[in-house]
Amino acid sequence: MRHEPLPPKLHTANRSRLAKLLPPKSIAVLNANDILPTNADGSILMRANSDLFHLTGVEQEETILVIFPDADNEKLREVLFLREPNEHNELWEGHKLRREEAQKLTGIREIKWAQDFPVTFRQLMCEAEHVYINTNEHKRATAEVQTRDDRFVREVRERFPLHDYRRLAPLMHSIRVVKSDAEIRVMQTACDITAMGFKRVLRKTKPGLSESDIEAEFSHEFIRNRARFAYEPIVATGVNACCLHYQTNTDPLKDGQLLLLDVGAAYANYAADMTRTIPVSGKFTRRQRMIYDAVLRVLRVSTARLKPGLLHKEWQKAAEADMTEELLKLGLLKPRDVKKQDPDKPAVKKYFMHGLGHPIGLDVHDVGDLTKPMEAGWVMTVEPGIYIPAEKLAVRLEDTVLVTDNGPVNLMEKIPIEAEAIEAAMR
Specify whether 344 is catalytic: no
Cβ atoms of residues 57 and 170 within 8 Å: no
Name the active-site residue from 47, 130, 226, 354: 354
The residues facing 30 across adjacent strands are 65
Specify whether 358 is catalytic: yes
Specify whether 365 is catalytic: yes
Name the active-site residue from 61, 213, 326, 398: 398
Name the active-site residue from 61, 192, 221, 273: 273
Specify whether 41 is catalytic: yes
Specify whether 34 is catalytic: no
Element (H, E) at 14: helix 8-21
Specify whether 163 is catalytic: no
Specify whether 273 is catalytic: yes
CA geometry: angle at 418 spanning 405 and 391, to 5°? 115
Name the active-site residue from 183, 213, 326, 383: 383
Name the active-site residue from 95, 122, 157, 245: 245
Specify whether 383 is catalytic: yes
Cβ atoms of residues 320 and 344 within 8 Å: no
Q: Which alpha helices (DSSP H) does 110-237 contain, by range?
A: 117-125, 148-159, 169-176, 181-204, 211-224
Name the active-site residue from 34, 54, 358, 363: 358
Specify whether 312 is catalytic: no
Please give the Cα distance from 64 to 183 (Å, whole number): 23
Name the active-site residue from 77, 149, 365, 399: 365
Specify whether 149 is catalytic: no
Please give the Cα distance from 238 to 241 (Å, whole number): 6
Q: Which amino acid is located at 150 in the chain?
A: D
Specify whether 262 is catalytic: yes
Backbone angles phi, psi at 268, to 5 degrees: 55, 35
Name the active-site residue from 41, 342, 344, 405: 41
In three-state secondary structure terms, 170 is helix
Q: 354-375: string of b/e by CB count within 10 Å (b at 16+)?
A: eebbbbbbbbbbbbbebeeebb
Name the active-site residue from 192, 215, 221, 262: 262
Pairing between strand 228-229 and 64-67? unpaired
- Quote the distance between the C-alpha of residue 379 and its chain's center: 10
Could you give the residue numbers annotated as active site?
Answer: 41, 245, 262, 273, 354, 358, 365, 383, 387, 396, 398
